[in-house]
Amino acid sequence: MISVESLVEVGLLQRDIPLGPFTTYKSGGPARWFAELRTHDDLDRLISSEIVSQPEILVLGRGSNLVVADQGFPGLVIRLGGEFAEIEFEGHQVAAGSAVPLPRLARASVEAGIAGLEFFVGIPGSVGGAVRQNAGCFGSETRDRLLSAEIFDLRTGEARSAGPDELNHGYRTSNVAPNELVTSARFEGSSGSVEQGKAELLSITRWRKEHQPGGTLNAGSVFKNPPHMSAGELIDTLGLKGLSVGAVSVSNKHANFFVAGPTATSSEILALTELMKSRVFEMSGTMLELEIQFVGFE
Vertex 145, ends 23 and 36: CA angle to 5°? 30
Residue of 27, 184, 221, 251 with catalytic role: 221
C-alpha to C-alpha distance for 24 and 284, rounded to whole angstroms: 30
C-alpha to C-alpha distance for 181 and 161, rounded to whole angstroms: 12
The answer to whether residue 268 is catalytic is no
The answer to whether residue 107 is catalytic is no
Element (H, E) at 45: helix 40-47
Whats the size of the chain, residue-wise? Answer: 298
Residue of 141, 150, 200, 291 with catalytic role: 291
The answer to whether residue 221 is catalytic is yes
Q: Is the separation of the CB atoms in 143 and 135 below 8 Å?
A: no
Spatial neighbors of 48 by CB under 8 A, at least 6 apart, are 1, 2, 157
Q: What values do phi and psi take at 152, rounded to 5?
A: -115, 130
Residue of 45, 132, 145, 172 with catalytic role: 172
Beta carbons within 10 angstroms of residue 190's beta carbon: 11
Spatial neighbors of 149 by CB under 8 A, at least 6 apart, are 131, 161, 162, 163, 167, 182, 184, 185, 186
Provide the annotated active-site residues: 172, 221, 291
